[in-house]
Copies of this chain bind each other. A is one copy, B any other.
Amino acid sequence: MTVNRRFLLTARPKGVPKPADFAFVSEPLPDLAEGEILVRNAYASIDPAIRGWMDDAPSYMPPIPLGAPVRATTIGRVAASRHPDFAVGDPVMGVNGLEDYSVATAGGFTSKIDLSAVPEPTNFLSVYGAVGLTGYFGLLEVGQPKPGETVLVSGAAGAVGSVVGQIARIKGCRAVGIAGGAAKCQRLIDEFGFDAAIDYRGKDLAAMTAAIAEACPGGVDVFFDNVGGLILDATLPNINHRARLALCGMISQYNATGPVPGPTNLWFLIARVARMEGLLVSEYIDRWSEGAAEMARWIAEGKLVFREQIEEGLENALPVFLKLFEGTNDGKLILKISDL
């Protein structure tokens, strides 16, 4: 009998998630109700956002219920179907769980994917998927960059940040990236084509503020922020009149055990008549294909490069996830659950 190995959330993590917050279980395959499909998960996107879904706090998605598998976007194939639009073997992408098999419902987030559209199926979880399009729509729609402007990106060596910097360059902007450590900073310039890089490690607010000022002598017109906290605070005094700040994530505080104070320099939003705006790629779902087509063209033209780091094995879900917070991942982090 086929079993379903599942990585369940069993407690709300306090701070950094630890093994006791989870259970790794094997269960029988579930029965399907009318309209449902069973997805054999092959690859899961390991995203910082998952940490937020583990908390019992209001957000853009409901918390992961205790006892349910950890939520993740996956690609896989239909293993069984009671839905007329999905046949066994169809490749699909959806918001599922870290488990061998997920039950998806009609009208949910699951859709069929065309594997011929991409060099590798995992690209649907990186540059062709929500991650790449978060960078695309976030920079272009929220950031509204104009040629000659300076675009500052935090988490710049990460999956979203590296895309943002490259699109900024494609659009004629100066791209400045913030990352942790000399190796990542070097990669920003050598591999992703950023004009300048800032290593945030070991810098307090004053030092970080000065480093941004040095790297952005004409000020910051667009800030694409994946990090929040001190880096956001240090950016604010460096923003230009009518700057746009796209808030994509706040990874610096996802493991905080209490309220995290916001930036001390929020006043600069008024002084510089600037705009700070939250970003969720789901807002652009009706323009998804438009964005994907342009991303595909840039990749074909060699203007956009990206990295995927594929880790193996559902049983390694927690240590793989924690790489995001240690900053030890190297490109879009993907967990392989099975062959596609």
Contacts and interface: CB of A to CB of B under 8 A. Distances in A.
Nearest to A269: B278
Q: Which of the listed residues A237, A253, A269 has the most CB atoms from chain B within 10 Å of its own CB?
A: A269
B266 A262 contact: yes
- For this chain, the copies found in one complex come to 2
B270 A264 contact: no
Interface of A is mostly: loop
Contacts of A312: none
Nearest to A277: B275
A201 B259 CA distance: 22
A264 B259 contact: yes
A273 B264 contact: no
Nearest to A264: B259
Contacts of A277: 269, 273-276
A228 interface: yes
Interface stretch (A99-107, A244-252, A303-311, A315-323): A244-252
B273 A279 contact: yes
A260 interface: yes
Contacts of A265: 262
A73 B303 CA distance: 53
B262 A250 contact: no
A261 interface: yes
A60 B270 contact: yes
A263 interface: yes
Contacts of A266: 228, 247, 250, 262-263
Contacts of A270: 60, 247-250, 278-280
Contacts of A59: 267, 271
A158 to B, nearest CB: 16
A187 interface: no
Contact of A250 (B228, B233, B260, B267): B267
Contacts of A264: 259-262
Interface size bracket, A side: 20 to 34
A282 to B, nearest CB: 8
A249 to B, nearest CB: 7
Contacts of A217: none
Contacts of A262: 233, 261-266
A302 interface: no
Q: Which of the listed residues A253, A267, A268, A283 has the most CB atoms from chain B within 10 Å of its own CB?
A: A267
A58 B250 CA distance: 26
Contacts of A83: none
Contacts of A82: none
A58 to B, nearest CB: 7
A259 B234 CA distance: 13
Contacts of A58: 237, 268, 271
Q: Which of the listed residues A237, A263, A277, A283 has the most CB atoms from chain B within 10 Å of its own CB?
A: A277
A59 B270 CA distance: 9
B60 A271 contact: yes
25 contacts: A58-B237, A58-B271, A59-B271, A60-B270, A60-B273, A228-B266, A228-B267, A247-B266, A247-B270, A250-B266, A260-B264, A261-B262, A261-B264, A262-B264, A263-B266, A268-B278, A269-B276, A269-B277, A270-B279, A271-B278, A272-B278, A273-B277, A273-B280, A273-B283, A274-B278
